[in-house]
A and B are shown apart, each in its own frame.
Chain A
């Protein structure tokens, strides 16, 4: 694949051509320029033999070289082209070395933001290395999210596709054939009883404690056909079913500061820069922090993912002066209401209906005690199976009598 175009000058050129033919030196594209001059293409490997054969009788001049070898030599001699190729390879390598996008599929109750945050904690985020171990991330995700039934992570270049399947929390079902009561799981004042099966044991306005039977699965049979002993009773056991709504009361206590901590800039500040390439961050504020209390402000100048995830930002660390200021009643109330909303969200079931809410403020030394009372209407009944012999003593005795 290596050819040299040569010009041969000398007398009796046909002798040289005949000799080439005899020695097996292949020549191509022979052009006769004159009686003592011609051009030809000779294979690179035959070149030495040809020069040896021509000796001093003929003058050989290489005019051009063709083929892979001269092409490579020519390319390598062009430094800027070599640098360009190397740069291109580096960019290509970097482009496929970082995660530039994460797509999440299959989420239902969880939000995409939540999943992305958990993925970030597990080590998978936009800008991280492409060579992150997906098995490790998956194990971490299973550990963090109990609701997760399955998670799959696949990489397509810089794109990470995360597919999640959420499971449901198993509800303990009571066997339909087994007798059961509906019992109270919370204490409260009964508002409504809907007994689909079984006998309602409570009425509107009754106060029930945790564990009280609301709908009983034991039904007394009143048989008047036979003249049995009026003292003996016959019972039938059913799988109680129904809903019981009660007014429940939630009481939360939280504390509010009388004073608030306010910040004021002193005017002293230090400018700096932050450079992040992939996972590596270099920030001047990390090692220059002369202030005891300071605030960090930043403005991004460059934020790119291609060809490399690169962030360049200028920042300013400003010194702060802290002082205490007294909060107004309105501020305390506003903050307490916000806290109350959060507590309700965390502790009261979503299915419960908030009927009433009240806040009571009790000032103490430097703090204000806030008592939050929430009245809610909610379903408090839960099935609890029982074995017929576990019926109350008087009832079991009666049953034994029947047997």
Chain B
């Protein structure tokens, strides 16, 4: 990864960012939650949307534009707003 890419990744607060490992997923820059169910969580992250699908999903932490999701995460989808 180039330095510029890293800077964009770290400081761009208006882009969706998701980190998934094992049974935990971390969604950053969350502005709004659109769908919250035990098998699907959709969050609006500035200029895009993140959708996590799976089973037994629950939000372990919700604070400071960060949502920590735990459960069996099967699918991650990213949507961009139409311009």
Q: Which residues of B contact A29 (CB under 8 A)?
A: 58-60
Q: Is the CB of B32 within 8 A of A18?
A: yes
Q: CA separation between A22 and B67, bound complex, in Å?
A: 12
With A29-B58, A30-B59, A32-B57 as given contacts, are A24 and B36 in contact (CB-CB < 8 Å)?
no
Digit string of B54-83 for contact with A (CB within 8 Å is 1, else 0)? 000111111111010000000000000000
Residue among B30, B58, B62, B67 having the largest count of chain A Cβ atoms under 10 Å: B62
CB distance from A48 to the nearest CB of B (A): 17
Other-chain contact of A21, B35, B37, B58, B63 (Cβ < 8 Å)? B63
CB distance from B80 to the nearest CB of A (A): 20
With A21-B30, A21-B32 as given contacts, are A30 and B37 in contact (CB-CB < 8 Å)?
no
At the interface, is chain A mostly helix, strand, loop or mixed?
Answer: mixed
B20 an interface residue at 8 Å Cβ cutoff? no
Q: Is the CB of A31 within 8 A of B32?
A: no
Other-chain contact of A14, B31, B33, B58, B60 (Cβ < 8 Å)? B33
In the complex, what residue of chain B is closest to A29 when comparing beta carbons?
B60
In the complex, what residue of chain B is closest to A43 when comparing beta carbons?
B63
Residue among B60, B64, B65 having the largest count of chain A Cβ atoms under 10 Å: B60
Q: Is the CB of B34 within 8 A of A14?
A: yes
Digit string of B16-52 for contact with A (CB within 8 Å is 1, else 0)? 0000000000000011111111100000000000000
Query: By the criterion of a CB under 8 Å from any partner CB, how many residues of chain A are at the interface?
Result: 19
A295 an interface residue at 8 Å Cβ cutoff? no
Q: Is the CB of A35 within 8 A of B61?
A: no
Q: Which residues of A contact B35 (CB under 8 A)?
A: 14
Q: Is the CB of A28 within 8 A of B32?
A: no
Q: CA separation between A28 and B30, bound complex, in Å?
A: 16
In the complex, what residue of chain B is closest to A28 when comparing beta carbons?
B61
Q: Is the CB of B34 within 8 A of A28?
A: no
Q: Which residues of A contact B65 (CB under 8 A)?
A: 21
Q: Which residues of B contact A40 (CB under 8 A)?
A: 59, 62
Q: Is the CB of A28 within 8 A of B37?
A: no
Q: CA separation between A21 and B61, bound complex, in Å?
A: 10
Q: Which residues of A contact B32 (CB under 8 A)?
A: 18, 21-22
Q: Which residues of B contact A26 (CB under 8 A)?
A: 61-64
Other-chain contact of A32, B34, B38, B60, B62 (Cβ < 8 Å)? B38
In the complex, what residue of chain A is closest to B32 when comparing beta carbons?
A18
Q: Is the CB of A24 within 8 A of B60?
A: no
CB distance from A111 to the nearest CB of B (A): 75
A13 an interface residue at 8 Å Cβ cutoff? yes
Q: Is the CB of A32 within 8 A of B33?
A: no
Q: CA separation between A25 and B57, bound complex, in Å?
A: 21
Other-chain contact of A28, B31, B57, B62, B64 (Cβ < 8 Å)? B62
Q: CA separation between A28 and B68, bound complex, in Å?
A: 9
Q: Which residues of A contact B31 (CB under 8 A)?
A: 18, 21-22
Digit string of A9-26 for contact with B (CB within 8 Å is 1, else 0)? 000011001101110111
Q: CA separation between A17 and B69, bound complex, in Å?
A: 14
Q: Is the CB of B37 within 8 A of A35?
A: yes
CB distance from B43 to the nearest CB of A (A): 9
| 30 A-B pairs whose Cβ atoms sit less than 8 Å apart in the complex | A14-B33, A14-B34, A14-B35, A14-B36, A17-B59, A18-B33, A18-B34, A21-B31, A21-B67, A22-B32, A26-B62, A26-B63, A26-B64, A27-B59, A27-B61, A27-B62, A27-B63, A28-B60, A28-B62, A29-B59, A29-B60, A30-B59, A32-B36, A32-B37, A32-B38, A32-B57, A32-B58, A35-B37, A40-B59, A40-B62
Apart from A17-B59, A32-B37, list 19 A-B contacts with CB within 8 A. A17-B36, A17-B62, A18-B32, A21-B30, A21-B32, A21-B62, A21-B63, A24-B63, A25-B63, A26-B61, A27-B59, A28-B62, A30-B59, A30-B60, A30-B62, A32-B36, A32-B57, A32-B58, A35-B37
